Structure 1
Amino acid sequence: PTQLAQGIVENAVLERASTKDIFVYKTEADLASLGYANGTWNDPRTVDGARLMIGTSSIRRIAQWKHRYPNTEVENLRGNVNTRLRKLSESNWTGAIFAAAGLERIHLRPDTSVNLDWMLPAPAQGAIMIVCREEDREAWELVRPLNHPETALCARIERDFLRALMGGCSTPISALARIEFAQVHFEGNICAPDGTELVEIRKTADINVSNELGSEAGNELLRDERVQKIIQSIRDAKS
């Protein structure tokens, strides 16, 4: 959620795991059919997307995938990790998309998987936040030493971006903040659910003046007419 419930406060954010989305494929030929070769994702315009079928239930992943491979057929994929991996193995799909952190934390990432380096993750992907009741000082003091300041800052910037765009888990909004040499590098985008339009933004700020970076990026995108059209189309679809 972009807003915690009343009386609940952020206590600590653990050091971040991988932010990557990964593609778990069935065969090397399937992977090659996506234009992946020698560890590189090649120009998607060379791919015949009509032959592709992938599994995911994430609106964000579907939107970015469709933007790159517009002719792909997407199958709904739900359930826990083991269930989704089993469904993939029993299917005739080219592959399926997972969060790297979810598979790596439980040591289930298959060898037949590659990072989707071109896909921007969900805000705070790979991060775990611990919350407590506002008045519970004992819990606060016990858990606070687990906080990883760099991860907490990046996750907050990404969630601020999501909040500024009035998004949630059903909105195809992506964001990633990284800290390098005392600077925060931010990337964010919003995509039409069918992938026809993707609007992105990149911003950099010194770490000591980066508190508003996510909000500023989101508000800047809101001034773009293309973004307003995407948001309106999402609202119309929900009504």
Structure 2
Amino acid sequence: MQTVLKIGTRASQLAMAQAHEARARLMAAHGLPEEAFEIVPITTTGDRIQNRPLSEAGGKGLFTKELEEALYGLDIDIAVHSSKDMPTETPEGLVLSAFLPREDVRDVFIGRSVKAIADLPQGARLGSSSLRRQALIRRMRPDLEVVMFRGNVQTRLRKLEEGVAEGTMLALAGLRRLGMEHVAGEIMALDIFPPAPGQGAICIESRAADSAVSEMVAAINHADTEHALTCERAFLAALDGSCRTPIAGHAVIADGRIAFKGVILRPDGSEWHEIAAEGDMADAARIGHDAGMEVRGRAGEGFFAGWS
């Protein structure tokens, strides 16, 4: 059968699992066989850089640049992304055209010999490359030595086995999509360890002018996830959020209403400011933006000094 849609994705196991989920949903929505959808793996700059934090190499766009170039070049029709990797501004001519139903947003701790962060010995090394996770870890356990931990899920688990650190943090959603939930130790409570904006959600990016593709992917869009992420991304944008800023945010939709909680932290976890807001889900973007501006005003510009 002729290919109907080319699906671009990063080449990691988790990214491929997410692309397969998108394909399965498209197959079900349109009654088409697997061979109608070609998955095209693409290695991004973010995948190649393993020796330093993304904040030092250029930020979130490092995971999307090559996929977006493939969209511009008509080499793929859609790109499947982890929503938390997406910059708040979408390049001209491209749109986030669908969001899949969200997985669990929580983080998990995985230890070499202990099941919980509280059980780590004084001064133990805990590996993470996320500034949000690093700041939250330091807020919980300022005695721990936080070390940089880059790589995909399998790479991080291997580093753990090799003793690079005594523990690490991963997203529960990714472990579930890989069928690896059994490796999780402590599942972190949301009030103690809030997630990154967009965590647990898969999004689809496509060309704005390609109405046929937009119509196809609209069939698998999950409206509640779209509204929640609209709020979270607006919060990020108001704070000029990137990989250089420890920011957490989570929106929940219920009965047409949206409830949002966000927090900004100093990288060392010594100070933080929290915000909560709610309203009609149709006002998701405004709620997120206003929450970001309010928490920014509370913290003061001095709070952000040295972030970039």
Q: Deviation digits for residues 146-180 of structure 1, max 9, x if unmatched?
A: 10000000011000000001111221011000123
Aligned to 2:115: 31
| 8 A contact 2:132–2:248 mirrored in 1 | yes
The one-letter code of the counterpart of 1:57 is S
Q: Tell me the number of residue pairs that the alignment of Structure 1 and Structure 2 aligns.
A: 220
What's 1:229 paired with? 302
**Residue 175 and residue 227 in structure 1: after superposition, are their counterparts in 2 closer, same or farther (change >3 A)?**
farther
Amino acid at match of 2:88: T
C-alpha RMSD over aligned residues: 1.8
Match of 1:77 among 149, 153, 158: 149
Evaluate the alpha carbon distance shift between residue 32 and residue 120 of structure 1 in structure 2; reply closer, same or farther with a 3 A threshold.
Answer: closer
* Alignment-mate amino acid for residue 96 of structure 2: E
Rounded Cα–Cα distance in structure 1 between residues aligned with 2:305 and 2:142: 21
**Cα contact 2:227–2:281 (8 A) shared by 1:** no
Structure 2 counterpart of 1:191: 265
Deviations 1:71-129 (A, max 9, x none): 11012111111111111112163311011111211112334422111211111111111
- 1:212 alignment partner, SS class: helix
Q: Secondary structure at the match of 1:84?
A: helix
Match of 1:97 in 2: 169
Runs of 4+ in 1 over 3 A off after TM superposition: 208-211
TM-score normalised according to structure 2 size? 0.67
Gaps of 5+ in 1: 36-47
Higher relative contact order, chain-length normalized (CA < 8 Å, sep 6+): 1
Offset at residue 230 of structure 1 (A): 2.2
Is 1:125 the counterpart of 2:199 in the alignment? yes
CA drift at 1:8: 0.2
Give the residue type in structure 2 aligned to 1:7: G
Decide whether the 8 Å contact of 1:49 with 1:69 is kept in 2: no
1:17 matched to 2:103: yes
Counterpart selection for 1:152 from 226, 234, 237: 226
Task: Give the unaligned 5+ runs of structure 2.
Answer: 1-86
Q: Do residues 87 (structure 1) and 173 (structure 2) align?
A: no
Question: Is this contact kept in 2: 1:54–1:95, CA < 8 A?
Answer: yes
* Structure 1 residues 206 and 49: CA distance shift in structure 2, 3 A: farther
Q: What is the identity, as a one-letter code, of the residue corresponding to 1:52?
A: A
2:102·2:200 contact (CA, 8 Å) conserved in 1?
Answer: yes
What CA distance in whole angstroms lies between the structure 2 residues aligned with 1:67 and 1:20? Answer: 17
The Cα offsets for residues 177-213 of structure 1, whole Å up to 9 and x where unpaired, read as 0123432111001100111111111112133444411
Paired letter, 1:219: M
Structure 2 counterpart of 1:219: 293
Whole-angstrom distance in 2 between the partners of 1:209 and 1:156: 9
CA–CA separation in structure 2 for the residues paired with 1:178 and 1:33: 27
Q: Give the structure 1 partner of residue 280 of structure 2.
A: 206
Checking the alignment, whether the CA contact within 8 Å between 1:49 and 1:71 is kept in structure 2 is: no
Distance 1:180 1:227, change over 3 A: farther
SS of the residue corresponding to residue 131 of structure 1 reads strand
| Equivalent residue, structure 2, for 1:44 | none
Cα distance, 1:34–1:119 mapped onto 2, change above 3 Å? same
Partner amino acid, structure 2, of 1:114: E
